[in-house]
């Protein structure tokens, strides 16, 4: 009889322990949307100074045309132009390749005048991935380009997709975070996290700042 009581008590204790364990878990069916407010922001990725070989490096200027970079839609893009202009001048002075894209139905003539292309610099037009249905890969590889520096807008659109494709194609990718913008800061933050952590992509990407890029 005593043995049966002990066995019963043991079973009750085990059931109670299991119930406690399940009670500590999130409610069944919970998903990331349900848990959105409880997600902790990860620490920021590290930034690194870089020195590039201008002979094998291209600066990709993504969608600085008025349809995608304007005070109404993306004032943060407009604010970034003086910083990007500095990088552009340094790239040109060093003899690096410069290539542009336009988005939102724009054309080369609608790129902000401070960072407008010269007649010798290529301009492609595409959706978020500037390699898709364009000659961008051929343009870069014909010039022996091995590294691309990507600046522009939007961080979670043209920059994210183009830089990711560049990495998959075998290019080394440099992202100056102060030259990459969106219409709100979270998109810029997400893109930086993605570049630093995404499988395959992160191995080929270096995050930096404009001032820390040397030719």
Q: How far is CA 54 from the centre of its chain?
A: 23
Confidence of residue 12 (pLDDT cuts 50, 70, 90): very low
Question: In this structure, is the dihedral angle defined by the CA atoms of residues 106, 109, 114 and 119, taken in order, positive or negative?
Answer: positive
What are 202-207's contacts with CB under 8 Å, separation 24+?
203/167, 204/166, 204/167, 204/170, 204/171, 204/172, 204/173, 205/163, 205/167, 205/173, 205/174, 205/175, 206/48, 206/50, 206/172, 206/173, 206/174, 206/175, 207/45, 207/46, 207/47, 207/48, 207/175, 207/177
One domain for residues 28 and 93: no
40 inside domain:
no
What does the pLDDT look like over 157-190, one tens digit per residue?
999 999 999 999 999 999 999 999 999 999 999 9
pLDDT value, residue 18: 41
| Chain mean pLDDT for the chain | 90
pLDDT value, residue 27: 52
What does the pLDDT look like over 144-164, one tens digit per residue?
999 999 999 999 999 999 999
Short-list 85, 73, 62, CA closest to 153: 62
Give the pLDDT mean for 29-34. Answer: 89
148 inside domain:
yes
pLDDT at 8 over 50: no
Whole-number percent of the chain with pLDDT over 90: 86
One domain for residues 90 and 187: yes
One domain for residues 95 and 191: yes
CATH code for the domain in which residue 55 is found: 3.40.50.850
pLDDT value, residue 28: 59
Domain of 158 in residue numbering reads as 50-214
What does the pLDDT look like over 64-108, one tens digit per residue?
999 999 999 999 999 999 999 999 999 999 999 999 999 999 999
One domain for residues 112 and 85: yes
pLDDT at 137 over 90: yes
44 inside domain:
no
Torsion-angle region of 200 (φ positive above 0: left; ψ -120 to 50: alpha; else: beta): left
One domain for residues 17 and 118: no
User: How many separate domains does the chain show?
Assistant: 2
């Amino acid at each position: 009889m005593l043995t049966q009581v002990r066995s019963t008590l043991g079973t009750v204790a085990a059931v109670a322990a299991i119930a406690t364990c399940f009670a500590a878990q999130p409610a069944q069916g919970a998903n990331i949307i349900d848990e959105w407010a409880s997600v902790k922001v990860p620490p920021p990725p590290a930034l690194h100074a870089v020195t590039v070989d201008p002979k094998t490096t291209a600066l990709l200027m993504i969608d600085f045309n008025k349809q995608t970079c304007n005070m109404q839609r993306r004032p943060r893009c407009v604010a970034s132009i003086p910083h990007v202009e500095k990088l552009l001048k340094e790239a040109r002075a060093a003899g690096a390749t410069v290539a542009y894209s336009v988005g939102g139905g724009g054309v080369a003539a609608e790129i902000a005048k401070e960072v407008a292309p010269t007649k010798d610099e290529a301009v492609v037009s595409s959706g978020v991935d500037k390699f898709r249905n364009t000659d961008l890969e051929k343009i870069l590889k014909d010039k022996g380009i091995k590294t691309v520096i990507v600046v522009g807008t939007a961080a979670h659109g043209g920059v994210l997709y183009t830089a990711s494709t560049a990495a998959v194609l075998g290019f080394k990718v440099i992202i100056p975070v102060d030259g990459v913008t969106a219409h709100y800061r979270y998109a810029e933050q997400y893109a930086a996290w993605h570049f630093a952590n995404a499988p395959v992509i992160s191995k080929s990407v270096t995050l930096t700042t404009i001032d820390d890029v040397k030719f």
